[in-house]
Amino acid sequence: MEVKIVAQINAKEYFDFVISTIQTIVDVSDVENKTIRKGLKFERSLNTGFKNELSTVKILDYVYPRVIEMEYKTSKQTNINKYLILPKGDNQCEITYTEKMYDQNNKLKKYNSFIEKGFIKKTEKRMRDVEKYLLEQKKTQEK
């Protein structure tokens, strides 16, 4: 599944926000070196909707300020999430969020079209909410 938007915000500012949310998760983990970097591995509790499940999280790719790709592995499945954020001028960027889900046998799982449409809509709204929040923060700082 892939969601792509063009946001009216600086690419670095958007990327920094994404990284700050990940950093918060890393900070409460038990990993010693809490610096976000490619190869960082830590455990996190995930709410799967039915119960909390322990997940091993690994940063697969990290290129500041453009790419963060993370793997969340549980006993039942593996999810790989990726943000690619490209500048489109001083105050505009293209954000591509990709998510892939694999079963226990490492086979790519497909969402049915109804669930995928809802997930895409929800993800796009979340991305727009981040854009709105960052624009509001920018206005507050300019005052």
Instruction: Give the Cα-Cα-Cα angle 26, 30, 35 (nearest 5 degrees).
Output: 40
| Domain residue ranges of the chain, discontinuous segments joined by + | 2-142
CATH superfamily of 2-142: START domain (3.30.530.20)
Q: How far is CA 17 from CA 65, 74, 102, 116, 137, in A?
A: 11, 26, 27, 25, 11
One digit per residue, pLDDT tens: the chain, 143 residues? 999 999 999 999 999 999 999 999 999 988 999 999 999 999 988 776 677 888 999 999 999 999 999 999 988 889 999 999 999 988 999 999 999 988 888 888 877 777 888 999 999 999 999 999 999 998 888 76
80-86, Cβ contacts within 8 angstroms, sequence gap of 24 or more:
83/15, 83/18, 85/11, 85/14, 85/15, 85/18, 86/11
Distance CA 110, CA 103 (A): 10
